[in-house]
Amino acid sequence: MPHRVLNLVFCCLFASVTFAADKPNMLIIVADDLGYNDVGFQGSKEIPTPNLDALAAQSVRCTNGYVSHPFCSPTRAGLLTGRYQHRFGHENNPAWLPEDTKQGLPLDQITLPQVLKQSGYATGHVGKWHLGAHPQFHPLKRGFDENFTALGGGHLYFADGKGGEEYKIPLDRNGVKESQKGYLTDQFGDEAAAFVQRRAGGQPWFLYFAFNAPHTPLQAPEKWLTKFASIQDQNRRTYAAMIASLDENVGKVLTQLDATKQRENTIITFVSDNGGPHLAKKGNGMTNFTDNSPLRGCKGEVYDGGIRVPFLVSWPAKLKPGVYDQPVISLDFFTTAIAQAGGQAPADRTIDGVNLIPFLSGDNKAAPHDVLFWRSQGPKGQYAARMGDWKFVRLGTAAPELYNLAEDIGESKNLASEKTEVLAKIEAAVAAWDKETIAPVFAGPQQGKPKAKAKGPKGKGK
């Protein structure tokens, strides 16, 4: 090969490698059923979370950060596609039916790892999947190069525990069944840290690190239960121990990022998939072992307690730590990641997420979204919308509700009868958005319908 041509090839190759090396790594961390006020950086005094707090200190903390649904699988479908999941009918949790080709993330939906692979990224998934049990929905067929996964909607934390079939299935490593060893949250943390170490110095990478903690069953190692012995309520104590374990395992990944000198150019996002649940029975009622204060409601509801979550975005190379108050949503992770990777979002469909970086950096002073929308239980179910400081709620056939979240974060004073013009404007936006959606394409297991009315802000149970 002529010397001049060889030099040209070398220069082009060098430029390509340099460009790839400059692309940020992407790490999305998702907690499962985490209460809004159950981590230190959100104000919890009862559950120390030093690793998440350290991440928050290096992040933009989005105080009006939302997910796109009040329970598990639909939120994950929206996050990985950048689209309201109502556009493609993924509005329910899929049942654990390995023979069913309908109950899962529809195959015509393009996922974030699929797009990032086109930009030269290595892609990995560790943790909970919950996007379909049939082999066609497997992570390796949805854009991930490698995975270590609990494929269902939940799993036992100890291998010798008792539970239903979905919670006892073997773990999945790259399509091969693998037995569970030790405490599951620790196992996921070790795998995520190993992925970060293994990928150091190579092509840019994307890791979707989706905990199933602190989702039920409430199970925790003795070392953490002992730490929280002062908490009298057994459910609350175990739940706190599970969050402490989650925090420890986030710390493993952050430590590995620092050790391999990848932290500076890694974009890290952290959310819960929905608000904390109210599950524990006490007498004839329910006691809340999670703390969503000062928000109203819980998992399964479209009040903010079900959809507003701890929300962090960290990128030391480009973003200064601070607080961002405009409403944002987990759908934005899709567009943000693709934009920073130098890729192109699919042009043949509506993408609802936006690139957050110009907003979080202060370069763009406008609001990222004019309106955010929620719907649960189909067209006859619950609706909500956020327009600026205003929050609209309609529960089935009940009268619409309207709250000013800047003055009433707990959604306690319904202003629908006083602010009729605001209400009409948001209702029109909801109606227009609703026309762009479809009914759920699968029913899924029984979701557990919430009560028609939720009382004001709810804290933890005693």
Contact 334, 375 (CB under 8 A): no
pLDDT of 161? 78
What is residue 109's three-state secondary structure?
coil
- How many CB atoms are located within 10 Å of the residue 199 CB? 19
For range 117-143, the mean pLDDT: 98
CA angle 274, 334, 340 (to 5 degrees): 135
Instruction: Give the span between the Cα atoms of 136 and 115, in whole angstroms.
Output: 18
- Amino acid at residue number 407: E
Q: In whole angstroms, what separates CA 436 from the centre of its chain? A: 23
pLDDT of 303? 98
pLDDT for residue 461 is more than 80: no
Q: In whole angstroms, what separates CA 59 from the centre of its chain? A: 16
- How many CB atoms are located within 10 Å of the residue 165 CB? 8
pLDDT of 282? 55
323-376 confidence digits (pLDDT tens): 999 999 999 999 999 999 999 999 999 999 999 999 999 999 999 999 999 999
pLDDT of 21? 56
pLDDT for residue 7 is more than 80: no
Instruction: Give the span between the Cα atoms of 205 and 120, in whole angstroms.
Output: 8
pLDDT of 19? 42
Q: Can you identify the CATH homologous superfamily of domain 18-360?
A: Alkaline Phosphatase, subunit A (3.40.720.10)
Exposed, middle or buried by CB within 10 Å (0-12, 13-18, 19+), for 300?
A: buried
Q: Give residue for tokens 């391999």.
A: 260
Instruction: Please identify every residue annotated as catalytic.
Output: 72, 130
Instruction: Give the span between the Cα atoms of 19 and 410, in whole angstroms.
Output: 47
Our CA dihedral for 256, 258, 264, 268, rounded to 10 degrees, sits at 40
Q: In whole angstroms, what separates CA 273 from the centre of its chain? A: 4
In terms of Cα–Cα distance, which of 290, 275, 324, 307 is closest to 375? 307
Q: Residue ranges of the alpha helices (H) in 58-172?
A: 72-81, 112-117, 165-168
pLDDT for residue 449 is more than 70: no
Greatest alpha-carbon pair distance for the chain in Å reads 85
29-57 confidence digits (pLDDT tens): 999 999 999 999 999 999 999 999 999 99
Say what the pTM is: 0.92
